[in-house]
A and B are shown apart, each in its own frame.
Chain A
């Protein structure tokens, strides 16, 4: 299995742990992620809001590059993923816009024929690779680990090609299959505040608080995310939020790929665990998923 890998900016910076764990998991499963040569910014939500045509052109340059490879595109950042899908949908719906985009691409010596399939790693791992196949690779089941699966909004809305837009279950099923206990988490596709945590912190942080509080109420050990911005908001602002809302206790917020990697028995450093602000190792040790300090990590298949 091989994909054209489009990391987007987050996975090279604040979401580095996402990239590390994703690449580690994929390499363990022999899924090849070939990073696109000369990829550019997806435009995020900001560019589309200012100038839709230019926003679509910016995103479509990446689609055009991916199309040259003839591969499906792997897009881990939920923001990029949403923007690329939107750029595709807009060009299907508005032929005039598609024409304008192709004029722009042509100036850069590119064409885009609309044939690229944009996929999120959740879809790739659960559907393309398959939950069953994944389960057969598990070496350290995440037994007893209580996980709140948090998808955020950008991954599934306005509509998702692989899951329900309000009650997605792909991550639930995937993590359940590696032994985790999935808590009932109805806020799974609610907004984390997006960039509001920076622009209007009282609003953004309140949204994060509600998400974390509910995870705590459901007795989750950890929140699993599929989006670098969700992870950033929920983890990096936790201290600030806890100062304001004193009933909140620290809770690790990780990428779902980090948990999957742990179940495959991969090296915690390769999975980006040291990058976490709220460490996950204590709870993994407590649950017997990771060896106690000073001893060797759990051995594969022993």
Chain B
């Protein structure tokens, strides 16, 4: 009986894997097909004449490099800001008791549950009057708003896990508050910093809505908007190029996900990302 049921369960697993990986497979498959093979009456399940020309076309597009630079700058600033600001706030919220602590945590959590438009609309109006639309500052501020609360919450989880005895031992040895933080606590939450950085990277790298609304010019867009701009209802979409671009765009995120995989699966990262 065991043998039969094992076989049945494995079959279900195999079918599930095939179905669930298919969209990703189809993206990669299309990316390596020469143009005439992309549009065929009977789809080719492997490229008959594999080529890199779609990738070359994608990265030699007029705006690719400048949009890539925009993405890199904005993402780097967001990651940096959310780690530096987040680690101190997380330390305060985990290692100290003070009035208003609970209120602050509720605000931090509540902000993340807001619909995107609840920040998008007022920020658009504010940045319009401050002449910030189309600048890196506009995007970084929007991303910090969405990422920082989460960073604080995640890093707080790592601080909470450190036994108080370690801190007290350092204090008995004469360490100052600053010394305890930088010499004892911060090194211990290093894995939390890495997870937080990766989550911040993913959130900022993937954002479409804010970049699309705030940047308003092809040369100022970031990569997600660039990716969507392959879609052209009038001249027809270059699907080969778009799929190649999608592969390039997704690779860093997938790699990061696989790196923090153990954390994700064990729930140790205290965090969850939804695409």
Does B bind A? no
Chain B interface (Cβ < 8 Å from any Cβ of A): none
